[in-house]
Amino acid sequence: MTITLTADQEALVRRALERGVGSSEEAVIDAALRSLGENPEPDILERTGMEAAALNRELERGLSGPGEPWEGADAFEAKLRAKYPHGRSNQ
C-alpha cells in the first residue's frame, strides 16, 4: 500500500520525530497507527485532567446553549501552555 501524506501531515511527522516519538518516519507512522487500536481515554485524561465521560458532559453542556464558564478552563489552559510553551498550529 502506498500512502501520500499532505503537507500538514508531513509536518506532524517531522514534529513527532523532533520530540523523539520515533527514530524514522515509518516508526512515527507505526506508533500513530498502533495508537488507533488503543483506548484514547488515557491521553484525554492526561491532556485535560478529566475523564472522557466528564469531558463529554461539559462539551454537551456548552453546546446546549449559553452557559457558565467552565471552572477548570484556566487550569486546563495553564497546563496546555506549560506543555506547549511555543504553541501548536494545525493540530
**All structural domains of the chain with their residue ranges:** 1-38, 40-84
Tell me which of 39 and 26 has the higher pLDDT: 26
Model pTM above 0.75: no
Average confidence (pLDDT) over 26-36: 84
The yes-or-no verdict on residue 90 having pLDDT over 60 is no
Which DSSP string corresponds to 15-81?
Answer: HHHHTTS-SSHHHHHHHHHHHHTS-SHHHHHHHHSS-HHHHHHHHHHHHTSS-PPPTTHHHHHHHHH
pLDDT digits (tens, 9 = 90+) for 44-89: 667 777 777 887 787 777 777 666 666 777 877 888 788 887 765 4
Average confidence (pLDDT) over 16-34: 88
Confidence (pLDDT) at 10: 92
